[in-house]
Structure 1
Amino acid sequence: MIGTVREVTPNVDAGTVLTGAQFIDAFRVEVGAAALNAREACTRMVLHGPRWALLRLRNILVRPFGLKTSGEGAPAPGGLIGLFPVLSETPERLVAGFDDSHLDFRIVVDISGNAASRQVTSTTLVRTHNLLGRTYLALIMPFHKLVVRNMMGRIVEPVR
């Protein structure tokens, strides 16, 4: 059904996207005949909605620990979508994320299906490096699924 977000089995090669990932999950939403590419889907996910308040809070909380905050880090080959550096991109797949001292993070946005029935899948991969990374991951997990489901729902809103 168009607009229904559901958790699915991840279908990315974790070894290629983020070798050694300790966490991976994926969510999919049906978008019907909407003509959009991976960048547009990712932009709708990331740049629309109220989650920026959570990101501002996150940036305030992690700054004392020396962790990257929005806008920090090396320039990305594909620019930024929100605070996420775009690492690689085709019309069907966009990979964004960053490496930090505590963990490495990737989001993969895939477009699949045919012109009459398209799906967007968002896969999250995380590799932690130390106790701080594992602690951070454990702290955000209760919110992760809720935030991703909300983000995925925003892909469909402009085309309804």
Structure 2
Amino acid sequence: MNSTAQIVPNPHDVLAGAQFADRYVLVTEGLSLTAIGAAERALGQTPRWVGRLMALRNLAVRPFRLKTGLEPAVLPAGRIGIFPLISQFPGKVVLGLDDRHLDFRVLVEVRDLGMGRQEVAASTIVKTHNWLGRTYLAIVMPFHRIVVPAMLAQILAK
């Protein structure tokens, strides 16, 4: 099943002052996922090619003292993959981090459609702080549009 891009219902509910948000959705059958389970399947491991892109990204941003995801977990709730867990509610989990250049959130939502089907949505919400954040967002956006659907597709592959 293909994931599709959609509009995020209200990104400011997740990150006040956000200037960017996108949402990718797929429909599953017979998985009975919770939001945390969907997040673990999508974000817990990265495809090898995404890992290589992230390693390249980490090398490129190191001179700017940006977070690389390699730092130890700072939140008591833990992590899913490289993303710190911020909060979880029935049907929703919020991950993300705040940095000097931008703050971002990944919202994973699961909605029951009946007859064993579920809609799983992954939204990325970003608030930039300065020129570096805006530049960074512009540079990573073409990759983001490929990586997020690939990560979401992992839900169906496991």
- Fold equivalence (TM over 0.5): yes
Q: What stretches of structure 1 of length at least 5 have no aligned partner?
A: none
Q: What percentage of aligned pairs have identical amino acids?
A: 41
CA contact (8 A) 1:84 1:96 kept: yes
The residue type paired with residue 125 of structure 1 is: I
- Say whether 1:7 aligns with 2:5: yes
Give the direction of change, closer, same or farther, for the CA distance of 1:29–1:52 in structure 2 (3 Å limit): same
Q: Which whole-Å deviations, capped at 9, do the CAs of 1:58-95 have from their partners, x for residues lacking one?
A: 11111110111123276124201111000001341110
1:49 corresponding residue in structure 2:
47
Matched residue type, 2:146 = L
Question: 1:76 is paired with a residue of what secondary structure?
Answer: coil
Aligned length, in residue pairs: 155
Contact 1:39 1:91 in 2 (8 A): no
Moved over 4 A (4+): none
Q: Distance in 1 between matches of 2:6 and 2:13?
A: 20
One-letter amino acid matched to 1:134: R
Q: TM-score, normalised by structure 2?
A: 0.92
Match of 1:66 in 2: 65
| C-alpha distance in 2 between matches for 1:91 and 1:77 | 19
The answer for unaligned runs of 5 or more in structure 2 is: none
Q: 1:129 to 1:74 in 2, by over 3 A?
A: farther
TM-score (norm 1): 0.90
User: What is the alpha-carbon distance in structure 2 between the residues aligned to residue 100 and residue 74 of structure 1?
Assistant: 14
* Cα distance in 2 for residues equivalent to 1:7 and 1:118: 17
Q: Distance in 2 between matches of 1:149 and 1:118?
A: 17
- Counterpart in 1 of 2:143? 143
CA RMSD of aligned residues (A): 1.5
Point out the more displaced range, 35-44 or 78-87: 35-44
Farther off after superposition, 124-133 or 51-60: 51-60
